[in-house]
A and B are shown apart, each in its own frame.
Chain A
Amino acid sequence: MKDEKLMEAAERLSKEIRPERDLWPEIAATINAPAAKRWSPLFAQAAAVVLLVGASSAVTYMTMKDSMSPTVVASTDMIFEQASFGNRYYLGPGFQDARNTLVADLEIELERLSPETRADIQKNRVLIHDAIAEINLALEKEPENMLLQERLLNTYREELALLRRVSSLTRNVMLRNDI
């Protein structure tokens, strides 16, 4: 069949085809439904999202309420260790004393280490101090930011861990020397 004949025949094909059943009753049932019902999927989704966010916020608040207070933003001069405040983010004089003692001993203990090890330790201390300073600056702008508070605590912990590692290292050196 040539193109022209095919196209001519196509034009003669039925354009109007009556459905085997009346489709109107179902259409009418849908469009006559109350407007709110007509949009129910959208509203249901929106309501579900609001409910979910609300519920998760409430659960988070209830969970965090007891575990996070009181929270204190620490300055770079302050010190704390996990053993001193347990599960509570609290910076007290005990932490400061512990840090002061470790820092005081640090200079003496560092002398017992090789220059390369000393340089590594100092480099790490500088990095930690810079981090503490930056987090504190950020906390001044967002004092309630839980993530920043958590990071600050972790950074202090890292500093204390470093100081302890240095003490432990020098004590081991001393022990070996004693032997």
Chain B
Amino acid sequence: MAALLTAGISDYSQTMTTATIDTRADERALIKQAQRADARAFEALYRMHIDRVYGICLRMTGNVSEAEDCAQDAFIQAWNKMDRFRGDSAFSTWLHRIAVNSVLSRIRKAKREQDRITAVSDTGVATVTTGDTGELRDLSEAVDRLPEGARNVFVLHAIYGYSHDETGQMLGIATGTSKAQLHRAKRLMAQQLKQQGFEA
């Protein structure tokens, strides 16, 4: 697990392998099988990617239940759209894009942002278990308290390593807006962390 935590984004799909599936070639084979409606192959892909997809959903929604729904929705959508995946980008990127869309549309449709804030403030850290400890746990909570726009950019760019262009595309915003939101996120988080006693 430690190796996974220190792994870079670019080689993510290799480090996420299981005992039986350990190369990108395997992933490509699974994708082809899933495109032929092989549910078992798709389950293998699910097992490979669920933790990161769920991570994105949880970091963006800040709510376990919402994150579970978004992750499930993302995989169901991915299954329905498997024939449209042509391999132009990494499968993980394609999947993450679907997950982000799922989160955004859920937030938009249900107008749950206020509920999310309420839920988080009502239930505290126990609602969201990210696995972060110590200083990182405080940082994780600070991320969770960010306003929606700034939080989404921070999650995708700062945590998951997507470029501002990619982040902008995923969120449907301009690259410049992504940069501005990141700046805002950093400023807000610095204020929060300073109040909690963290020094530069």
A7 interfacial contact with B, CB 8 Å: yes
Q: Within the complex, which residue of A17, A24, A38 is in contact with B131, where a contact is CB–CB below 8 Å? A: A17
Whether the pair A31, B139 counts as a contact (CB closer than 8 A) is no
Classify chain B: how many residues form its interface, as a range.
Answer: 35 or more
CB–CB A17/B76 < 8 A: no
B194 touches A13 (CB 8 A): no
A-B CB pair tally, cutoff 8 Å: 108
Within 160-200 of B, Cβ neighbours of A (below 8 Å) are at 160-161, 186, 189-190, 193-194, 198-200
Q: Does B68 lie within 8 Å of A21, measured CB to CB?
A: yes
B64 within 8 A of A: yes
A64 adjacent to chain B (CB < 8 Å):
no
Contact B51 A17 (CB under 8 A): yes
Q: Provide the A22-33 mask, 1 if CB < 8 A to any CB of B, else 0.
A: 011011101110
Contact A13 B129 (CB under 8 A): no
* Candidates A1, A15, A19, A32; contact of B159 at CB < 8 Å: A15
Q: How far is the CB of B82 from chain A (nearest CB, A)?
A: 10
Taking CB atoms, residues of chain B closer than 8 Å to A24 are: 43, 46-47, 50
Question: Counting CB contacts under 8 A, is B119 at the interface?
Answer: no
Q: Which residue of B lies closest to A35 (CB)?
A: B37
A11 to B186 Cα, complex, angstroms:
13
CB pair B136–A18 under 8 Å, yes or no, is no
B158 touches A7 (CB 8 A): yes
20 pairs, A vs B, C-beta closer than 8 Å: A1-B193, A1-B198, A3-B186, A5-B200, A13-B136, A13-B143, A13-B159, A14-B131, A15-B55, A16-B4, A16-B16, A16-B51, A18-B51, A19-B51, A19-B68, A19-B71, A20-B68, A20-B129, A23-B68, A27-B76
Point out residues on B near A: beta carbons under 8 Å.
4-5, 12, 16, 39, 42-43, 46-47, 50-52, 54-55, 58-59, 64, 67-68, 71-72, 75-76, 79-80, 129-132, 135-136, 139-140, 143, 154, 158-161, 186, 189-190, 193-194, 198-200
